[in-house]
Structure 1
Amino acid sequence: MKKRVLSLCSLALVACLTFTSCSIDINDGLGGEESTVTTPTDGVLANGGTLAGTITKDLLIKKGNYTIDGIVKVAANVTLTIEAGAVFNVVTTKTSSLVILQDAKINAQGTISEPIVFTTSTKTPGDWGGITIYGKAPIKAANGNTTAQSEDGNNLSYGGTDANSNSGVMKFVRVEYAGKKIGDGTSETNSMTFYSVGAGTILENLVAYKGTDDGYEFFGGTVSATNLISYGNYDDSFDWQDAWSGQNNSNWFAYQTGTGNFGMEIEASGNSDNTAPKINTVTLIRAANTNPESAGSAEISAIQFKKHGTGIFSNVYISGYKNTGTQKAYAVLIQDAATETSQVLTGKVKVEPINYVNSDNAGVWGYAYVQANPKTFTNAATVTKVSLPTGAWATVDGVNLLAGLQ
């Protein structure tokens, strides 16, 4: 059957050589669904084009305005290149997302004045599924498993053995109004999701804007990221599990406004043997009157560690984390004694130096269990906020996303 499908595809492609582009219905091998493959014969998509289905050959998208219609997948051994200034308006009447599969690459390099933007016309949080990348780097999922099934509705296996695997480049890319609910209505995608993405991948100057789940979530892998903005995302601004271990992260800025849970939610899927990721310069700001998704929730602290989660943070500025009702907010919250014993006491959890201001419960870490000797800290005058370049890349509908850093 596979040989017959490939033959039909080849004949169809040949038949389309005389046209500007063609659409071919084939089985994409992912769940047995039929998928439309739009393949411009010259490998270039010009202004006004639509992305739909699975991209099966290298494609260059020129600067201009485009539509993403449904779940668009980039197949293995294919590179999707997007020029600076390209803007994608995503169809919201169905589940839409951009998915870079294992062994595929994205080459999306915007600029400070001409970012690459993914948005929607309705401008409603949760409009679409955001960008998901699958790499081939190692993970440690629950029970130490080296592979797991994705939670993004694609139900794909992720996890590999190449720590330096390369899924491409994303620079000056902004994702707006993502985090669409999927499946049973309780699972959600994030604005940007990285499944077992390797250290050969470059992530720089990215914006996750007003999604209904996490701004960024890392499921294992070794990739690092520089100059991240997570603005107005409903769940956690930054989240990771499956023993993500990026070592060269810097300048992460979260601004929580309206609705927001933890600034950072950190776990290692129950694996005590993990490598702590490192992040230099973190700024977490929670605007006044920002509430958790669920009324009365305890998810209001800046940084939470659980299930053996680890992280080495330096130069940390935190502001605006206030108690809500009977729930208390902390700079750092440790959820379980096992994480304290295996990670905090062994030096794999550090948040220092730290400046925790305009917030409740200053000077102490919080614990969701009885802790006889809570960790204390003194605000460090040497801490500075994240410094990021201003420009169109960090401006949405005339709002400067970096205003909170001033």
Structure 2
Amino acid sequence: MKKLLLSALAIGALAFSSCNEDDEPPVAEVVATCNDGIQNQGETGVDCGGPNCQPCTEATATCNDGIQNGDETGVDVGGSCAEIITVSGEISTDTTWSANNIYLLAGKVVVGVDKTLTIEPGTIIKGKPGSGSLASALIVQRGSKLIAKGTAEKPIIFTAEADNIAIGQTAGTNLDEGDRGLWGGLIVLGRASGSFKGDVTEVQIEGIPADDTFGLYGPGDALNDDDNSGELQYISIRHGGALIGEGNEINGLTLGSVGRGTLIDNIEVVGNVDDGIEFFGGTVNATNLFVWAQGDDALDIDQAYSGTIDNAVVVSGEASDHAFEIDGPEGSLEGSFTLQNTTIFGSATAADGEYADYRSNAMGTTKNIYAVGFQAGKDVELDANDVAQNYLDGKLKFEAWQVVGFDHSIFAEKVKKDDDGNEVESTIILTPTFTERAADWTTQVEAGAQTVGADLSAFAWTYANAKASLGF
């Protein structure tokens, strides 16, 4: 009996040595048996109840208390014990999402009326894949608030479930800007003014089925241009734009009638199927916006948006369309936007890849724009007669564009005529084909010699800057 006991102790000592020996440890250390409920110092895996130490990357939850206990399924990355929390439906009480957890959006998650969702700096929110009614999105409906204030060091990250980013990280390794449509997006709605067809006072936001009343935006019976939907700062939104219907995708960030009482600052959208950021009416001001590799338009303005967009960057990708798409009022209410201090990088490979398209009675001012890298033949379009007239009347203004690669004399107004000789379309064009009317708001510059455009240093924190080595 004693001989058997001594043999067992010898075997146990040998097993312990294979997991802890410091001097030239055997290969067995990597797959050491550690299902005894105790994480020994020399073990390289975690105790998940199996025959071997399991790799940390295979865990589904994170335990950051420095000790891997026998009943934990996560990994030790240094903090409090955390998990992946799946969220769906309505958030019916004031709620805080902690940076110690990952939150998984399963379908549409809606912040309830008079309720506030607070998201801590550094929090990661992932969206499950799905389309149509199953598309995942976070929706801040009218009367609710989102307080999501990240920092440059700890941005709040919205991304796809497939992204292998982990708690404490700002980027995963398995996705890039070409991975689009893997979940929905972020939608914020308010009661500020908007100009809608038929002069109705509220409409349904695109990306949300018509029978979901939480998708309504516009003043309704409670107009408030100072409406406050919360604070959004240092937020990165990646790999979104899930399809909900034919030709109808969710934008990276959608703002519907959001009021000027809302903070929109330092927002990044990467690899979205549809637009990067779209403003449907509203009066909110937005600063430090960054859009990279969107599938349609980077910055889109509709329905008499009347705020100011200041300091923005667009980096076009191979699937991108316009850097700017600007529409005007749809009803009798007029509004005037300001888009200023913006740098737009064109794509050498995009099939479309235009500078901008001004449509549907667009009204406002676009100024201090620096453009570089666009292909020859790409243009700034005024693609309807009412837009051309607004340009001639001064309701649509362009000031101080500096462009690399084109002489300012070839920015010209091209007037199209129908078979009867009537003017039907006016386009400001960036090719030498038409020189009838030179655009005096453009100047040719050498790359690096520009005096207008965005302050790029504001975007050093972004995923795009790190991933694409932009050097901001």
> TM-score, structure 1 length as denominator?
0.79
Shift of 1:312: 1.0
Q: Of 282, 287, 290, which residue of structure 2 is paired with 1:229?
A: 290
Q: What pairs up with 1:221-300 in 2 under 5 angstroms?
A: 221-247=282-308, 249-271=309-331, 274-292=334-352, 300=353
Distance between the aligned counterparts of 2:250 and 2:415, measured in 1? Answer: 27
For residue 163 of structure 1, what is the aligned residue in structure 2? 225
Shift of 1:393: 3.6
Q: Is the 8 A contact 2:401 2:443 kept in 1?
A: yes
Q: What pairs up with 1:379-390 in 2 under 5 angstroms?
A: 379=443, 383-389=451-457
Shift of 1:337: 1.4
Shift of 1:47: 4.6
Q: Cα 1:350–1:391, aligned 2, differ >3 Å: closer, same or farther?
A: closer
Larger-Rg structure: 2
Shift of 1:154: 3.5
Q: What pairs up with 1:119-138 in 2 under 5 angstroms?
A: 119-120=159-160, 121=162, 123=175, 124-138=179-193
Q: Which amino acid aligns with 2:258?
A: V
Residue range with higher mean Cα deviation, 266-275 or 114-123 = 266-275
Shift of 1:396: 4.9
Q: Which amino acid aligns with 1:139?
A: G
Shift of 1:388: 3.5
Q: Cα 1:345–1:273, aligned 2, differ >3 Å: closer, same or farther?
A: farther
Q: Cα 1:345–1:78, aligned 2, differ >3 Å: closer, same or farther?
A: same
Q: Is 1:103 paired with 2:103? A: no
Deviations 1:154-184 (A, max 9, x none): 323321011000000000001001111113x
Shift of 1:269: 4.2
Deviations 1:348-383 (A, max 9, x none): 222211101135986414557345954523407663
Q: Cα 1:85–1:335, aligned 2, differ >3 Å: closer, same or farther?
A: same
For residue 191 of structure 1, what is the aligned residue in structure 2? 252
Deviations 1:113-135 (A, max 9, x none): 11000111254301111000110
Residue range with higher mean Cα deviation, 389-398 or 231-240 = 389-398
Q: Of 101, 107, 121, which residue of structure 2 is paired with 1:70?
A: 107
Q: Which amino acid aligns with 2:150?
A: G
Indicate the SS of the match to 2:393. coil
For residue 393 of structure 2, what is the aligned residue in structure 1? 346
Q: Is 1:336 paired with 2:395? A: no
Residue range with higher mean Cα deviation, 234-243 or 385-394 = 385-394
Q: Is 1:311 paired with 2:364? A: yes
Indicate the SS of the match to 1:111. coil
Distance between the aligned counterparts of 2:274 and 2:187, measured in 1? Answer: 13
Indicate the SS of the match to 1:316. strand
Indicate the SS of the match to 1:258. coil
Q: Which amino acid aligns with 1:74?
A: V
For residue 241 of structure 2, what is the aligned residue in structure 1? 179
Distance between the aligned counterparts of 2:451 and 2:332, measured in 1? Answer: 30
> TM-score, structure 2 length as denominator?
0.68
**Higher share of residues assigned helix:** 2
Q: Is 1:55 paired with 2:87? A: no
Q: What pairs up with 1:141-160 in 2 under 5 angstroms?
A: 141-155=196-210, 156-160=215-219
Q: Cα 1:72–1:352, aligned 2, differ >3 Å: closer, same or farther?
A: same
Q: Is the 8 A contact 2:407 2:443 kept in 1?
A: no
Residue range with higher mean Cα deviation, 75-84 or 89-98 = 89-98
Indicate the SS of the match to 2:267. strand
For residue 56 of structure 2, what is the aligned residue in structure 1? none
Q: Which amino acid aligns with 1:51?
A: V
Shift of 1:279: 2.4
RMSD: 2.5
Deviations 1:24-77 (A, max 9, x none): xxxxxxxxxxxxxxxxxxxxx965322211101100111132211111000110
For residue 6 of structure 1, what is the aligned residue in structure 2? none
Sequence identity percentage: 27
Shift of 1:150: 2.0
| More relative contact order, 1 or 2 (CA 8 Å, 6+ apart) | 1
Q: Which amino acid aligns with 2:382?
A: I
Indicate the SS of the match to 1:190. coil
Q: Of 438, 453, 463, which residue of structure 2 is paired with 1:395?
A: 463
For residue 5 of structure 2, what is the aligned residue in structure 1? none
Q: Cα 1:253–1:391, aligned 2, differ >3 Å: closer, same or farther?
A: closer
Distance between the aligned counterparts of 1:108 and 1:165, measured in 2? Answer: 17
Q: Is the 8 A contact 1:173 1:207 kept in 2?
A: yes
Q: Cα 1:208–1:191, aligned 2, differ >3 Å: closer, same or farther?
A: same
Q: Cα 1:237–1:344, aligned 2, differ >3 Å: closer, same or farther?
A: same
Shift of 1:390: 6.0
Q: Is the 8 A contact 2:329 2:335 kept in 1?
A: no
Deviations 1:93-142 (A, max 9, x none): 44101000000000000000110001112543011110001101011012
Shift of 1:288: 1.5
Q: Is the 8 A contact 1:395 1:401 kept in 2?
A: no
Shift of 1:397: 9.6
Q: Which amino acid aligns with 2:386?
A: A
